[in-house]
Amino acid sequence: MNSDIIIENLTAQFIRAEGNVAAVRGVSVTLKRGQVTGIVGESGSGKSVLGMAILRLLPDNADVSGKIIFEGENILAKSEKDMLKLRGSRLGLIPQSPSESLNPAVKIRRQVTEIFTLRKRVPNAEESARKLLERFQLPDVDRCMNGYGFQLSGGMKQRVVTAFGVGASPEWIIADEPTKGLDSVLAGQVREVLREISKTANMLLITHDLSLAQSICDVVIVMNNGHILEQGDILKNPYHQYTKGLLESTPAGGMKAMPLVQDAPDGDLCPICGWCPQRESDCNKQLPPLAEVDGRKVRCWRYA
C-alpha cells in the first residue's frame, strides 16, 4: 500500500521545568503521495518538529497530540515495536546532522550493510551496500566503506546518510535540512540526488533553502510559530506577507532583512501582526483561519 500521510490537529510541545514550549499548534495537512512537499520557515517555526513527529523521534519531554494517519492507522497510537518496523522500511529519514547520525566507532561498511541485513534481508548485503553508495557517486567507495564517519568530508557524510535513508526503498522519505552547512557546489549535488530520489519515493523536504524548495517541490508549506501560514505552489507568487519576506531575504530577492518576528501570546494571534505592512484591525484580535484562495491556503485576515 502506498498512502498519503494525513495529519489532523497535530500539537507538539516540550515540557520543561522553566515552562512549556509549544512547537506545533493544531496543524492539519495532507502530504500527498506522488508529490514532493516542502516545509520552509525560520528556525523555531516547527517544521522539523512536525517531521520528527511523523517518525515518532521527538525527545521524551515532547507532549504530542492529534493524529497522524498512515495506511489507515494512527502513527501516534502505535507501539515502539511497531514503529521500529515502519522506520527505514516504510518511512525513511535523511537527517540534518550527518556527523551525529554516523556511529564514530563503527566502520561505514557495517553501518550501510545493516540496512540490507536488518531491513531488506538480502543474501548479498555487502554488495548491495556497495551499489547503494555508488549510486550516490562517492568518489572512493572502497575508502569510504573501510573508514569511519569522522574520516569523511561533510559532503561525503551527507551522501552516506542519504544512502541510509533510501537504502531500504521506503515509500516516504523525510529529508530534514539535507543541504544544511554545505557549500553551493555540494548543495547542488545533493539537490540532484534528492530530485532523483523523488522519482521513486514520496518526499517531505524540510529546509531553509528556498531555492531548493522551489526547484524540486510540487507543494510548499510555510510555517511560523507552529502554524501553517501559506500552502500550495506559492513561491513564485506568494500571498502571505511572511512568505514574501522570506523570499526577499534571499540573494535572488535582494537580501532584505526580515523583521524580528513577534512571538504572539499563546500562539493565538498572527505571528507577524506586529510588523506586517498589510495588517488590518482584526489582526490584533485573533489568529486568522487557514482560508482556501485560488488553489492555495493562506492564513491571513485579508483572505479570510
Contact 178, 194 (CB under 8 A): yes
Q: Are strands 36-40 and 202-206 parallel, antiparallel or unpaired?
A: parallel
**pLDDT on residue 49:** 97
Domain count along the chain: 1
**pLDDT on residue 146:** 92
**Domain membership flag for residue 18:** yes
**Domain membership flag for residue 121:** yes
Rounded to 5 degrees, φ, ψ at 272 are: -110, 10
Whether 96 shows a pLDDT value over 90: the answer reads no
Rg for the chain (alpha carbons), in Å? 20
**Domain membership flag for residue 299:** no
pTM confidence score: 0.91
The range of the structural domain enclosing residue 175 comes to 5-225
Residue 74: strand, helix, or coil? strand
**Domain membership flag for residue 260:** no
In the sheet with 73-74, reading across from the earlier edge strand, the strands are: 21-31, 5-14, 62-70, 73-74
Whether 2 shows a pLDDT value over 80: the answer reads no
**pLDDT on residue 281:** 80
**Domain membership flag for residue 68:** yes
**pLDDT on residue 195:** 87
**Domain membership flag for residue 111:** yes
Give the C-alpha separation, 65 to 205, whole Å: 23
Mean pLDDT confidence for 23-44: 95
**pLDDT on residue 81:** 94
**pLDDT on residue 270:** 86
Whether 262 shows a pLDDT value over 60: the answer reads no
CATH number for the domain spanning 170: value is 3.40.50.300
Whether 107 shows a pLDDT value over 70: the answer reads yes
What tens digit of pLDDT does each residue of 264-276 get?
A: 556 678 888 888 8
**Domain membership flag for residue 172:** yes
**Domain membership flag for residue 91:** yes
Mean pLDDT confidence for 183-206: 86
